[in-house]
Amino acid sequence: MEYFIELFLGGLTRGSIYALIALGYTMVYGIIQLINFAHGEIYMIGAFVAYIVCGVLTIYGFHGVSILIIAGLLAIVYSCAYGYTLEKVAYRPLRNAPRLAPLISAIGMSIFLQNYVLLAQTSDFLPFPSLIPNFAFMEPIAHIIGSPELVILVTTLVTMILLTLLIRYTKIGKAMRATQQDMSMARLVGINVDRVISMTFVIGSALAAIGGVLVASYIGQVNFYIGFIAGVKAFTAAVLGGIGSVPGAVIGGLVLGLTESFAAGYISSDYEDVFAFGLLVLILILRPSGIMGRTTKQKV
Amino acid sequence: MKRFTLLMAALVAVAGLASPVLAADTIKLGVAGPHSGDLAPYGIPTMRAAQLVVKKINAAGGVLGKQVELLIQDDQCKPEIATNTATKLVTEGANVVLGHICSGATKAALGIYNDAKIPVMSPSATNPGLTQSGDYPNFFRTIASDDMQAKLAVDFAINKLGAKKIAILHDKGDYGKGFAEFAKKFADESGKVKVVLFEGITPGAMDYSSIIQKVRRENADVLIFGGYHPEASKLVAQMKRKRLKTAFLSDDGVKDASFVKVAGKDADGAYMTGPRDLSTIPLNAAATAEYKAAYGEDPGAFFQEGYSAALALLNAIQKAGSTDYAAVTKALRTEYVDTPVGRIKFDARGDAEGVGFSVYQVQKGKFVEIK
């Protein structure tokens, strides 16, 4: 039973990170039906900015939690700037082009950003300081869950609640939902659609940056390539939950994380990914639009 | 008539492409390995070793009265790039090749060199099959093979660490999995330990906590890991965080300064096998001093092996009196040569006689040889 709880909490931790990143995919897809393949790179850039900021702050003698907060905030600011620019440069000019064009543009931007960081920084793995203080809980709790996992879980939970409130109760949230329903109608009632799309990218990027900082601090290393793997997993989570649906991304992320954790724990970590993607295929056969997805009505 | 002229012109052009090989007035030493990408720290020291050796030999008059020319190619340790690299070195007319660095890339490239009858010497590809399969008579190496490493690791776990239960993990790659499979084989054969876990992990995954929980649950005394330092750093960090008392024991893919740099304090206490300490060999001290003078830092992984391989290859050409394939491979197998890894020649399979491994432990950020 103890082992089950360990695996469950482990799965929940990684699942909540998947969910955090998956939200960026799902929100963008929901509004402009684009799969933003460069989203994983925004996550990576968030982690790198935090890495650099940490280095600088350590020189100036800052400590622990203050570094975490400043580095986290700057990572969010930078990632948002990148997300905003990405949309402006790579997707907005292609707004009325056939669906495939922005998709290729997204893949191109992903490769570009990876190589940009590779050249500007280094290809080496870099040691990321563990910013989340590692409190010693009492045994037997200590080996079931530590403070880093707890911080990750709480942070993602709070972030998701804030996001839900934002979408449900704020003006920009309403505008986002309206744009998602019908872009031309939204434009007719006076919503600045371009601004809404930019905001979606900015919000998604902020979530990715939070994920990036948390994961880098948790596993203790950054590298220009981390965004690719995180991106693939989060994209899978988004599709699993039903791409375009915000609760779907969260559920998809958690389901994926738990599946991986249990598959590794009870069967074999050799087949961790096999089970994760097997589950995806299974769900797409049974529910083509994902767990929470709705089949879109064709506009006539 | 016009067509005939065109045909003649085409023939002349093709002949023009083929001729540089015949007109060679230098000895061409190909160097292949990862010089970019995340595994570059394993390839660059060998490339620099070749540059240092060649500079010295050229200054002393070259080999067989000819200057040695370096052909340097980056394969990023990727098999698919390595085959291109090999083809390129063959067409550029390399007489001998120093490389490749990673076992997977080496294996992919070896067939191409074998068809072209070019002797190849790796400073670091430790996969046993490369020599033991007998498929590559053109292959030599200045490092001991993985099975020797795995045997040493298992013996160390049993005799020095008193292990009764061993968990074995690997990164599913040619190198890591090969090491892990040999470790399992030797552990099973010893009859003194039980292998409680044998699994592959996904390189680059965000989290290894499930597998660490599993190691704890199996109550393993020692965790043997086959793979490279990025995954090893994550594993030791998560083991420390989960407060496992299991000892961590890995291979020479982990015995690299990057491991200590990335894992930081978590690296302390980890064991790994690696080429034995060579500081007592005079040539080694000289080579290290050369490196420091040229680059202002300590040489990285496989520098000594790379330096030795460059010396052995050029020495064999000198002794053979030509770059002829049969003569050079015969010289490699019969003529001793003094190198930074000791006085070596190569056995019938291509493994260097006289090189070996030791076990190291990270103590306060330094690799300390365990006697």
Contact A264 B264 (CB under 8 A): no
Q: Which of A13, A134, A269 sits opposite B211 (nearest CB)?
A: A269
Q: Which of B36, B202, B261 sits opposite A272 (nearest CB)?
A: B202
Residues 16-45, chain A: which have Cβ within 8 Å of B? Answer: 17
Whether the predicted pLDDT of B25 surpasses 80:
yes
Contact B262 A143 (CB under 8 A): no
Contact B217 A229 (CB under 8 A): no
Residue of A125, A217, A260, A275 best to disrupt the B interface, most CBs of B under 10 A: A125
- What confidence score (pLDDT) does residue B22 get? 45
Contact B241 A215 (CB under 8 A): no
Contact A270 B205 (CB under 8 A): no
Average pLDDT over chain B, rounded to an integer: 88
Contact B166, B220 (CB under 8 A): yes
- Kindly report the nearest CA distance between residue B361 and chain A, in angstroms: 20
Using the Cα atoms of residue A208, residue A213, residue A218 and residue A223 in order, give the sign of their dihedral.
Answer: positive
- What confidence score (pLDDT) does residue A137 get? 73
The nearest alpha carbon in chain B to A147 belongs to B241
- What confidence score (pLDDT) does residue B112 get? 94
- Kindly report the nearest CA distance between residue A107 and chain B, in angstroms: 20
Contact B113, B125 (CB under 8 A): no
Q: Environment class of residue B177 by beta-carbon count within 10 Å: exposed (0-12), middle (13-18) or buried (19+)?
A: middle
Contact A29, A35 (CB under 8 A): yes
* pLDDT tens digit sequence for B187-213: 999 999 999 999 999 988 888 988 998
The nearest alpha carbon in chain B to A216 belongs to B206
What is the interface pTM, i.e. ipTM, of the complex?
Answer: 0.88
Q: Which residues pair with residue B347 across a beta bridge?
A: none
Residue of A126, A141, A223, A269 best to disrupt the B interface, most CBs of B under 10 A: A269
- What confidence score (pLDDT) does residue A117 get? 93
- How distant, in Å, are the alpha carbons of B152, B188, B241, B340 from that of B276? 12, 26, 31, 12
Average pLDDT over residues B324-347: 91
- What confidence score (pLDDT) does residue B92 get? 93
- Kindly report the nearest CA distance between residue A245 and chain B, in angstroms: 24
Integer Cα distance of A52 and A43 in angstroms: 15
Average pLDDT over residues B210-225: 92
Q: Tokens standing for A65? A: 């939690």
The nearest alpha carbon in chain A to B238 belongs to A219
Contact A15, A224 (CB under 8 A): no
Contact B210 A134 (CB under 8 A): no
The number of C-beta contacts closer than 8 angstroms across A and B is 98
Kindly state whether A115 is in contact with chain B, defined as any CB-CB distance less than 8 angstroms.
no
Ranges A225-229, B1-5, B217-221, B327-331: which has the least confidence = B1-5
Integer Cα distance of B125 and A87 in angstroms: 45
Whether the predicted pLDDT of B277 surpasses 80:
no
Kindly state whether B365 is in contact with chain A, defined as any CB-CB distance less than 8 angstroms.
no
Residue B199 phi, psi dihedral angles, 5° rounding? -145, 160
In tens digits, what is the pLDDT along chain A, a chain of 300 residues? 788 998 999 999 999 999 999 999 999 999 988 999 999 999 999 999 999 999 999 899 888 788 989 999 999 999 999 999 999 999 999 988 998 999 999 999 999 999 999 999 888 899 998 888 777 677 667 667 888 889 999 999 999 999 999 999 999 999 999 999 889 999 999 999 999 999 999 999 999 999 999 999 988 899 999 999 999 999 999 999 998 889 999 999 999 999 999 999 999 888 888 998 999 899 989 988 888 877 655 545
Residue B230 Cα to chain centre, angstroms = 17
Average pLDDT over residues B331-354: 88
A chain contacts of residue B241, beta-carbon cutoff 8 Å:
134, 146, 148
- What confidence score (pLDDT) does residue A285 get? 92
Q: Which residues pair with residue B368 across a beta bridge?
A: B361
- Kindly report the nearest CA distance between residue A69 and chain B, in angstroms: 22
Kindly state whether A255 is in contact with chain B, defined as any CB-CB distance less than 8 angstroms.
no
- What confidence score (pLDDT) does residue A194 get? 94
Contact B214 A269 (CB under 8 A): yes
Instruction: Please name the residues in contact with B51: beta carbons below 8 A apart, sequence gap of 6 or more.
Output: B70
Contact A233, A279 (CB under 8 A): no
Per-residue H/E/C for chain A:
CHHHHHHHHHHHHHHHHHHHHHHHHHHHHHHHCCCCCCHHHHHHHHHHHHHHHHHHHHHCCCCHHHHHHHHHHHHHHHHHHHHHHHHHHHHHHHCCCCCHHHHHHHHHHHHHHHHHHHHHCCCCCEECCCCCCCCCCCCCHHHHCCHHHHHHHHHHHHHHHHHHHHHHHCHHHHHHHHHHHCHHHHHHCCCCHHHHHHHHHHHHHHHHHHHHHHHHHHHCEECCCHHHHHHHHHHHHHHHHCCCCHHHHHHHHHHHHHHHHHHHHHHCHHHHHHHHHHHHHHHHHHCCCCCCCCCCCCCC
Contact A32, A196 (CB under 8 A): no
3-state secondary structure of B357: strand
* pLDDT tens digit sequence for B78-119: 999 999 999 999 999 999 999 899 999 999 999 999 999 999
A chain contacts of residue B229, beta-carbon cutoff 8 Å:
125
Q: How many CB atoms lie within 10 A of CB B123?
A: 30
- Kindly report the nearest CA distance between residue B230 and chain A, in angstroms: 7
Contact B249, B223 (CB under 8 A): yes
B chain contacts of residue A272, beta-carbon cutoff 8 Å:
202, 205, 210
- How distant, in Å, are the alpha carbons of A11, A234, A269 from that of A262? 7, 18, 9
Percent of chain B at pLDDT exceeding 90: 63
- How distant, in Å, are the alpha carbons of A270, B151, B273, B338 from that of B356? 32, 12, 10, 16
B chain contacts of residue A125, beta-carbon cutoff 8 Å:
38, 229-230, 233, 258, 262
The nearest alpha carbon in chain A to B261 belongs to A127
3-state secondary structure of B147: helix
Contact A186, A178 (CB under 8 A): yes
Contact B261 A127 (CB under 8 A): yes
The nearest alpha carbon in chain A to B170 belongs to A270
The type of residue at B182 is F
Q: Which of B38, B216, B264 sits opposite A223 (nearest CB)?
A: B38
Q: What angle do helix axes A272-286 and A226-241 make, rounded to 10 degrees?
A: 30
Using 50, 70 and 90 to split pLDDT, how confident is the model at B20? very low
Percent of chain B at pLDDT exceeding 70: 94
Contact A134 B263 (CB under 8 A): no
* pLDDT tens digit sequence for B126-152: 888 888 888 899 999 998 887 888 989
- Kindly report the nearest CA distance between residue B217 and chain A, in angstroms: 8
Instruction: Please name the residues in contact with A21: beta carbons below 8 A apart, sequence gap of 6 or more.
Output: A39, A40, A43, A207, A208, A211, A230, A231, A233, A234, A237, A253
Ranges A38-52, A221-235, B15-29, B61-75: which has the least confidence = B15-29
The nearest alpha carbon in chain A to B215 belongs to A265
Contact B206 A219 (CB under 8 A): yes
Using 50, 70 and 90 to split pLDDT, how confident is the model at B23? very low
Contact B206 A14 (CB under 8 A): yes
The nearest alpha carbon in chain B to A2 belongs to B217
3-state secondary structure of B117: coil
A chain contacts of residue B266, beta-carbon cutoff 8 Å:
220
B chain contacts of residue A265, beta-carbon cutoff 8 Å:
210, 213-214
A chain contacts of residue B264, beta-carbon cutoff 8 Å:
127, 220
Q: How many CB atoms lie within 10 A of CB B242?
A: 20
Average pLDDT over residues B338-344: 88
- Kindly report the nearest CA distance between residue A264 and chain B, in angstroms: 6
Contact A11 B210 (CB under 8 A): yes
3-state secondary structure of B313: helix
